[in-house]
Structure 1
C-alpha cells in the first residue's frame, strides 16, 4: 500500500536574480520541519546573452514541474517570491485541488503563498504596478539594465536584503544572485491562478523593491475580484526567506498544517 502524504509538498517559485541556492536557509528550515521542498531554477536566470528565456519559458517550466507533482497525487503548497508571483499566477491555473477534485483527480495545489510577490491579473505586466504608482523613474536607479534587457540590481544589500543579518552572511547570500532577463517585467500574464486557489500574502514591511503599498494593492485587487486573502506581516526587506526565515516557516506551517 502506498504511503499517505502527511504533510504537503512545498513548491517554491523563486524571484528575479535569485537561483534555488538563494533559498538554502529557508529550504533547510522547512526540511527540518519534515516538509519536502522543490525549487526549480527559472530559465530566465540562465544568463544566456542575448536572453533566450522569458516569462513564457518560466511559465512552461513551472507548470510542467507542478503538473508532475500533482499528477503523482501530491498536495502542493506553492510559495511565490517576488517575480515568482507573476510566474506562479500565470502557470498554476487549473491545478488547484478543488478543480482537480471536480474532475475526480487526486492531488493539486491547495494554497498559494505570495511572499512580497507580484499577484497580477490577466493581461497585466509586473511593470504596470510600478507605472501605476508613478515610479518608473526609479527603475534605472535601482536596476543596471544592459542593451539586451538583462539586468542586475545596483545595490542588492540595501534594496533587496535590508537590515538584519551579519555582513558576511549578506555577502554570501548576495553572491548567489545572477544576471536576469529583465524583459520579463514587461510581459503580460495570460492567467491568474489566484482566482481559483486559496491565497495568503506575506507583507514585508521594510521592502524597498516591492514597497508595502504595492503589496497591499495586490491584496486589494484580489479581494476586489472576490478572492479572500489571509495576510501576514513580517518586519523584513524584500527577502524574508533570508532575513526572517523563522517567521516565513511559521506562516507556511500555519497555512499548510
Structure 2
C-alpha cells in the first residue's frame, strides 16, 4: 500500500514557516509533504507585491497544478489546509479526484480534503459572505494598499482574535510576521465544491474566536448536506491556530487523517 502525498495550504496572510512544526511531524512520519505559497500571500513579512493582488482562483490553479503533477506520478494526494485555504482547496479539485481520474483512465488523484478550522463556502458563496456574520467592529483593523493587498495593522488585536491562547508577546510576534494578503480573494465566489465528491476531515477548534464553534458547525453541516456523506470531525481545545495552541492534538489529527486516507484506498 503506497503512502499518500500531502499538499499543505496556509491560511490567509500566513507564511509557510509558521506551520513548520506540523510539516516536520508529517514528513518525519515518512510522508511526502509539499507546502504551497499561494499567490494571494505576499513574499515576506508585512509585504505584498508590486502588482495587482491575484484572486482565489489563482490560488486554486497553483494547488491544482501541484496536485495534478503528483497524480500523474500515480500518487494519492491529500489536500490539507488552514482557515482561508479551505476555499481554494475546494475550488482546485475539479477533474482531480481519484475517482474522476480513474474514470478517464488516469492514475492517482486527490483522495481526501483535510480542513483545519477552515472557511468552506457553498457554491456561489465567498469568504466575505461567510465573514459578514461578524460585525466589522469585532474584527481587527485591516488596511488595503493601492494594489489591493491587505495588511493586519494591529498585530496585538489580531493575536487576541486568532491565537489568544499564546502568551501575548508571542502571539503578537506571530502576527507581525504575517505577509499582506489579496483583498480580491475574499470576494471570489466558489464555483466548484470538491467536498461534494471527495471525503472530508475537519479539525474543529473549540476555542476559536475567528471562526467560533457554531460557525464551524454550520460549515460542517453544509458539507454533509451537499455531499450526502458524514464529515470526519475531530475536536481540539485550540484557538484559530491550533498548530500552535493545541500542537499535539493537531499533529495527532493530521497523522490520523493521513493514515485513514491511506487505509481507505
Superposition TM-score, scaled by structure 2 size: 0.86
In the alignment, which residue of structure 1 is the partner of 2:58? 57
1:61-83 deviations in whole A, cap 9, x for unaligned? 11111111111111111112111
**Deviation sequence 1:14-54 (CA, Å, 0-9, x none):** 11011211211111121221121111101111312553312
> What residue ranges of structure 2 are gaps of 5+ in the alignment?
43-47, 260-265
The equivalent of 1:105 in structure 2 is: 106
Q: Could you say what secondary structure the match of 2:111 adopts?
A: strand
Structure 1 counterpart of 2:177? 176
Q: Partner of 1:242 in structure 2?
A: 244
Corresponding position of 1:70: 71
| RMSD, aligned α-carbons | 2.0
Change (3 A) 1:13 1:172: same
User: Which residue pairs with 2:136 in the alignment?
Assistant: 137
2:53–2:149 Cα contact (<8 Å) kept: no
1:255 matched to 2:257? The reply is: yes
Is it true that 1:20 corresponds to 2:16 in the alignment?
Answer: yes
Which segment is superposed worse, 29-38 or 84-93?
29-38
- Quick one: distance in 2 between partners of 1:152 and 1:52? 12
Q: Secondary structure at the match of 1:78?
A: strand
Partner of 2:150: 151
- The answer as to whether partners of 1:118 and 1:126 remain within 8 angstroms in 2 is yes
* Structure 1 residues 143 and 65: CA distance shift in structure 2, 3 A: farther
1:21/1:176 contact within 8 Å kept? no
In the alignment, the residues of structure 2 paired with residue 61 and residue 196 of structure 1 have an alpha-carbon distance, to the nearest angstrom, of 20
Could you tell me how far apart the structure 2 residues matched to 1:128 and 1:167 are? 30
Task: Work out the number of aligned pairs and report it.
Answer: 249
Structure-2 separation of matches of 1:123 and 1:177: 29
Q: State the partner residue of 2:36.
A: 40
Structure 1 residue 177: deviation in Å? 1.2
Q: Is the 8 A contact 1:113 1:199 kept in 2?
A: yes
Is the 8 Å Cα contact of residues 22 and 177 (structure 1) preserved in structure 2?
no
- The offset of 1:104, in angstroms, is 2.5
CA offset at residue 167 of structure 1?
5.7
Q: Which residue of 1 aligns with 2:6?
A: 10
SS of equivalent residue, structure 1 residue 11:
strand
Deviating more after overlay: 196-205 vs 22-31:
22-31
Separation in structure 2 between the aligned mates of residue 80 and residue 254 of structure 1, nearest angstrom: 15
SS of 2:40's partner is: helix
Q: Is the 8 A contact 1:162 1:236 kept in 2?
A: no
Any gaps of 5 or more consecutive residues in structure 1? none
The residue number in structure 1 matching 2:82 is: 81
Q: Take 1:202 and 1:126, find their aligned partners in 2: how far apart are those partners?
A: 19
Change (3 A) 1:103 1:22: same
Match of 2:263?
A: none
Deviation at 1:84, TM superposition (A): 0.4
Deviation at 1:122, TM superposition (A): 1.7
